Amino acid sequence: MMKSKKLASAVACALSLSFTTAVAADALENLHKEENKIHKAAAKSQQKVDRYYEQSLELLAEYRGVVDKTDSLRVYNDHYEKITKNQEAEIASLQKQIDGIEDTKQGVVPLMYKMLDSLEKFVELDVPLKIDERKARIERIRRLMTDPNITTSERYRQVLEAYQIENDYGTLIAAYQGDVEGKTVDIAHIGRTVLVAQSLDFKQVWVWDNNARAWTQLGDEYIKPIRQVIRMARKQVAPDLLKVPVFAAESAQ
């Protein structure tokens, strides 16, 4: 009887222990599940935090970009405003100059015509070196004076250039072919002091007499000197002293 009671008591204890263990196991499993839920929730929360953080960084970068762009635009606008003011001042200055140029044209145009008239008269009175070329130059400039496509400044430049060319003739020693008494000849000039010619067969020589406005034929004694003058003008021989007749050119009145 006693043994039966002890056995029953042992069985009861075992059952009680087994139940307690089962309950504890269930509680532990539930605890693990809750922990997993908490970890998952924490992970999701961290992901949200990370996402919000990244978004905040993007917004911050965008904000800084907007601020930088705003500052740049402000600097650019200030710069452009200064440029605009300077341009307006320059336009006003140019307009004033243009108005002045129009007034100047009224005085320059008559002056150019007077200069051409004086130049034409000078060429007529001067020794006739390259005479056709010089007359053609003056005639060309006269046509430019009425050409609507040519500016006043360009016309004036052409007139001054013609004067400069005429001035250079007075310092040059040059030779070219021309016509004397219907014959093709070699002509040479030393400035405006000497203008001589020689036939291509070297048998006749002339000198220009500006007082008589005509070519004067010279004697045979001048054939060699004038031939040397022509060779000097063509830089075929070194400059040297030569005896040649001289008739000074008259000045235009």
Asked if the model's pLDDT at residue 122 lies above 50, the reply is: yes
Residue 154, both tokens: 């360009």
Q: For the chain, what is the radius of gyration of the CA atoms?
A: 56
Sign, CA dihedral 216-218-222-228, equals positive
Asked if the model's pLDDT at residue 5 lies above 90, the reply is: no
pLDDT at 9: 55
Q: Of 135 and 105, which is predicted with more confidence?
A: 135
pLDDT at 253: 40
Asked if the model's pLDDT at residue 251 lies above 50, the reply is: no
Where is average pLDDT lowest: 89-93, 131-135, 242-246? 242-246
Percent share of the chain, pLDDT over 90:
43
Which CA distances in Å does 160 have to 9, 100, 114, 157, 170?
143, 22, 12, 5, 16
pLDDT at 220: 93
CA atoms within 13 A on the CB side of 96: 6
Residues forming a β-bridge with 188? 175, 196
Asked if the model's pLDDT at residue 150 lies above 60, the reply is: yes
pLDDT at 185: 96
**pLDDT, tens digit, 9 for 90 and up, residues 193-237:** 899 999 999 999 999 999 999 999 999 999 999 999 999 989 898
**pLDDT, tens digit, 9 for 90 and up, residues 106-117:** 788 899 999 999
Asked if the model's pLDDT at residue 10 lies above 70, the reply is: no
Question: Where are the chain's structural domains?
Answer: 81-169, 173-253
pLDDT at 22: 53
pLDDT at 27: 61
Percent share of the chain, pLDDT over 70:
74
